[in-house]
Chain A
């Protein structure tokens, strides 16, 4: 029997809330800047060993729940077919080529062009030497796929990445074997759990324009396929369709670990989580706004700040970040972005309950980045969104400050970030 993954049947969107799902699992598009920074922040918080353990465990759990939904809908019957489905979907999501040579008791998996290791080498390889493996997500997928393929409970097996291209190896290799410690059971945060938390949606200013661009962008994103490497490269970044539970799981578990063990570092960790969102927003949104595809869809940016913010709201929606709406904007003064929920807040409430303050770090960083793009980028000069440009703008002098004034995570009806100009 031939396995097949019908993307159009498995991919769904809640258009009024701008959330995306694949096989009823919350998914979101993110670039390698965000992915690498977030993983790095987890390791900075917990130390490399504990950080890798958390990232691998979270990917294991997230991919187990995901594949448990996906594989039965693929037509795969045999373990070999189920493993094949996992390989195909992993590459289709832009995570690279993973090969699973495993049996019920474990075995070997190999990876080529795996998103994390490969893009780390591309971005940082000439600047710093890495001392530990990079592909917790591929490791988690490999072990979860093996468990699903052989109908094993989650946590039966364990995985370790033995070689990694980020360390100079020609290929990534993973060893899968029986777990020495049981994995605590967990319930997925899927489409149903997400929908349960969603209130009524709403619109903001310039809604028609944002909606029209979002529709066009969603159509365009639906046509993007990974290349022969299993990567999606476009807009100057490497893009993944990723499991929201992975991002949320590592972020909040590490954050609350820091709150317990090193409370003096809580704020700085929040700052680095926001920085992940800021890098994502600036690089990915900027890359999209500068792209020929955007010019074809909307027209080349003229540099009008409102035009950029409208574009950013549409991009945020199309990527699955939430129903970004403009509530208030005065050029060079302030900007208020509101959404009925984010993929962060819905997860947080489900898994961690209510918080004392906002917990949407991607939302905060992304909104700040939108304002920076609107006011600090010389669009007519067609800048290149590279590290030198980023560094030149943000090494000093922040110019804008932000606050998450409302958040579903703390019991509000919506999430809102207000950004205002710092006057000197």
Chain B
């Protein structure tokens, strides 16, 4: 199923060599629109870009910055990279020619990001019947855990064991009662070693 229309989002943007949409925190390529020279390495690049952002997030967190949006620019002699988070579960990476002024790159990055955000929201509404809208806090807490848990592959199992809430209930956060949500919040704080959740 075609979820994003990357060519349309990138239409008219000069010096753009590639656009990658990467799922976080698993660092997997979700979609891409790239020149052939970058096509073959797309999966590998997605993993590397994802790790890069994870590491910067970890560094920010050590400095006490938990929830600010992150944007990274990488300048080399022949390329300008812009890494920009899109919501909490996607990362956009733009590869521009180095001749493009950095301010323009940021402007295009923001504009394309807004376009893709709308496309993703449309996809989410049609695919989960608005569950996230009904319980946005529960979903955000689980996304927060997935993003920051030291072993994200098992974080939902740990949460289930800590709270006594079955996995299938956690996988449908809209169904969580206020009492269950309180348990989840407490357990997420315990797992991450933080005093409160600012999500």
Chain A residues engaging chain B, CB cutoff 8 angstroms = 40-41, 44-45, 47-48, 123-124, 126-131, 258, 262, 264-265, 268-269, 271-272, 275, 387-388, 391-392, 394-396
Of the A-B pairs whose beta carbons lie under 8 Å apart in the complex, a sample of 9, sorted by A's number, is A41-B158, A127-B148, A262-B164, A265-B160, A265-B161, A268-B157, A272-B154, A275-B157, A396-B153
B91 at the interface (CB under 8 A from A): no
Q: Are B153 and A131 in contact (CB under 8 A)?
A: no
Complex contact A272–B193 (CB within 8 A)? no
The answer to whether A264 and B166 touch across the interface, beta carbons within 8 angstroms, is yes
Contact A128 B153, beta carbon cutoff 8 Å: no
CA–CA, A393 to B62, complex, Å? 26
Which A residue's beta carbon lies closest to that of B156? A268
- B153-175 vs A, CB cutoff 8 Å, 1 = contact: the mask equals 11001101110101100000000
Shortest CB-to-CB span from A42 to chain B, Å, is 10
Question: Which B residues touch A258, using CB under 8 A?
Answer: 161
In contact, B161 and A264 (Cβ under 8 angstroms): no
Q: Which 4 A-B pairs have the closest CB atoms?
A: A129-B193, A127-B150, A395-B26, A262-B164
Contact A128 B192, CB 8 Å, known A268-B157, A275-B154: yes
Binding site for A on B (CB under 8 A): 25-28, 47, 51, 58, 62, 148-154, 157-158, 160-162, 164, 166-167, 190-194
Cα–Cα distance between A47 and B190 once the two chains are bound (Å): 10
Q: What's the nearest-Cβ distance from chain A to residue B23, in Å?
A: 9
Q: Is the CB of B161 within 8 A of A392?
A: no
CB proximity of B128 to chain A, nearest CB, Å: 18
- Which B residues touch A47, using CB under 8 A? 162
List of B residues within 8 angstroms of A275 by Cβ? 154, 157
Chain A contacts of B150 at CB under 8 A? 123-124, 127-128, 387
Q: Are B193 and A44 in contact (CB-based, < 8 A)?
A: no
Given A45-B161, A265-B160; A392-B190 close (CB under 8 Å): no
Main secondary structure of the interface of B (DSSP, over half): helix
Closest Cβ neighbor of B158 among chain A residues: A44
A124: chain B residues at CB < 8 Å are 150
Which residues of B are found within 8 Å of A123, using beta-carbon distances? Answer: 150
- A269, closest chain B residue (CB): B161
Q: Are B193 and A131 in contact (CB under 8 A)?
A: yes
A122 to B85, CA, bound (A): 29
Is the pair B157, A128 in contact by a Cβ cutoff of 8 Å? no
A-B contact count (CB 8 A): 66
Contact A126 B190, beta carbon cutoff 8 Å: no
B153 touching A395 by the CB < 8 A rule? yes
Contact A272 B28, CB 8 Å, known A127-B150, A131-B190? no
B51 CB contacts on chain A under 8 angstroms: 388
Contacts of A396 in B (CB 8 A): 26, 28, 153
Q: Residues of B contacting A392 with CB < 8 Å?
A: 27, 47
**Pair B157/A130 contact, Cβ less than 8 Å:** no
- Complex Cα distance, B27 from A408, in Å, reads 41
Chain A residues near B152: list those with CB within 8 A. 391, 395
**Inside 8 A of B153's CB, which chain A residues have their CB?**
391, 394-396
B residues less than 8 Å from A264 (CB atoms): 164, 166
**Which of A129, A131, A269, A395: most chain B CB closer than 10 A?**
A395
How distant is the Cα of A265 from the Cα of B166 in the complex, in angstroms? 7
Q: Which of A44, A48, A387, A388 contacts B161 (CB 8 A)?
A: A44
Identify A272's interface contact among B62, B157, B166, CB under 8 A: B157
Residues in chain B near residue A130, CB distance under 8 A: 193
In the complex formed, the residue of A with least CB distance to B54 is A388
* A148 to B148 alpha-carbon distance, docked (Å): 44
A369 to B193, CA, bound (A): 29
Chain B min CB distance to A33 (Å)? 10
Q: How far is the CB of A374 from chain B (nearest CB, A)?
A: 20
Q: What separation, in Å, do the CA atoms of A350 and B164 have in the docked complex?
A: 29
- The verdict on A44 contacting B164 (CB below 8 Å), with A129-B193, A392-B27 known, is no
Q: Is the CB of B58 within 8 A of A268?
A: no
Contact B58 A127 (CB under 8 A): yes
Inter-subunit contact A272/B161 (CB<8 Å): yes
Which residues on B sit within 8 Å (CB–CB) of A268?
A: 157, 160-161, 166-167
What's the Cα separation between A47 and B95 when bound, in Å?
47
Quick check: B162 and A44 within 8 Å, CB to CB? yes
Q: Distance (Å) between the CB of A262 and the closest chain B CB?
A: 5
Measured between C-beta atoms, what is the minimum distance from A265 to chain B in Å?
A: 5
Q: Which residue of B lies closest to A48 (CB)?
A: B190
Q: Which residues of A contact B167 (CB under 8 A)?
A: 268
Choose among B26, B47, B161, B193 the residue that contacts A41 (Cβ–Cβ < 8 A).
Answer: B161
Residues of A within 8 A of B160 (CB): 265, 268
Contacts of B190 in A (CB 8 A): 48, 131
Give every chain A residue within 8 A of B25 (Cβ-Cβ).
Answer: 395
CA distance A71 to B29 in the complex (A): 58
Residues of A within 8 A of B157 (CB): 268, 271-272, 275
Q: Is the CB of A126 within 8 A of B58?
A: yes
* Pair A126/B62 contact, Cβ less than 8 Å: yes
Contacts of B154 in A (CB 8 A): 272, 275
Instruction: Tell me if A128 and B193 are in contact (CB < 8 A).
Output: yes
Task: Name the A residues within 8 Å of B151 (CB-CB).
Answer: 387, 391
- Shortest A260–chain B CB gap in Å is 13
Q: How many Å lie between the Cα of A366 and that of B28 in the bound state?
A: 26
Cα A392 to Cα B54 with chains together (Å): 13
Docked Cα-Cα span, A44 to B157, in Å, equals 10
Task: Collect the chain B residues with CB atoms within 8 Å of residue A127's CB.
Answer: 58, 148, 150
Instruction: Specify which of A268, A272, A275, A387 lies most central, judged by the most chain B CB atoms within 10 Å of its CB.
Output: A268
Which residue of B25, B28, B148, B157 has the most chain A CB atoms within 10 A of its CB atom? Answer: B157
Cα(A391)–Cα(B150), bound, Å? 10
Docked-complex contact B26 and A129, CB < 8 angstroms: no
Q: Which residues of B contact A394 (CB under 8 A)?
A: 153
